[in-house]
Structure 1
């Protein structure tokens, strides 16, 4: 078997050099993509948590106002009852 053609050897050497040369850039690109994905997930989770907290705070406010309104009604009802009972 004779020696390998010089052009084939040169081509393989260039491909191997290209792959080795691209590896750090590709690794950095993959790292940046993973970091960006994690940060975007974090931002989405933060937005979702703020929305849920806003809904909870709104519900608590409505319950508090309902309690205040019912206290006023019960005071008026009790006062009216006392007035009616005094007339008898």
Structure 2
């Protein structure tokens, strides 16, 4: 093979690789965006569950204290 045909093959290979990378870039960006959004939604759901659990504990404590005070006053 001559050096010109080798250089042409190298140029073709680099051009194909660059085109492939450029063609995949929007899909990769959207995939990254979707993963970030899904992670944010999952964290929001986990935080909501945690907040609800903590609120239930506070409500139970308040109810217990209120019932204890009511029972203490009735005697």
Q: TM-score, normalised by structure 1?
A: 0.77
**Deviations 1:25-80 (CA, angstroms, capped at 9, x unpaired):** 0000010011011101100110000000000000010011101110112xxxxxxx
> C-alpha distance in 2, partners of 1:56/1:65?
14
**Aligned-partner SS, 1:5:** helix
Give structure 1 regions of 4+ aligned residues with deviation exceeding 2 angstroms: none
Alignment of 1:58-77 (within 5 A): 58-73=60-75
> C-alpha distance in 1, partners of 2:30/2:6?
36
Structure 1 unaligned blocks of 5 or more: 74-88
Larger-gyration structure (1/2): 1
Aligned to 2:34: 32
Alignment of 1:1-88 (within 5 A): 5-73=7-75
- When the two chains are superposed, the root-mean-square deviation of aligned CA atoms in Å is 1.6
Structure 2 unaligned blocks of 5 or more: none
Count how many residue pairs are aligned between Structure 1 and Structure 2: 73
Q: TM-score, normalised by structure 2?
A: 0.90
Q: How much does 1:4 deviate? A: 6.0
**Aligned-partner SS, 1:42:** helix
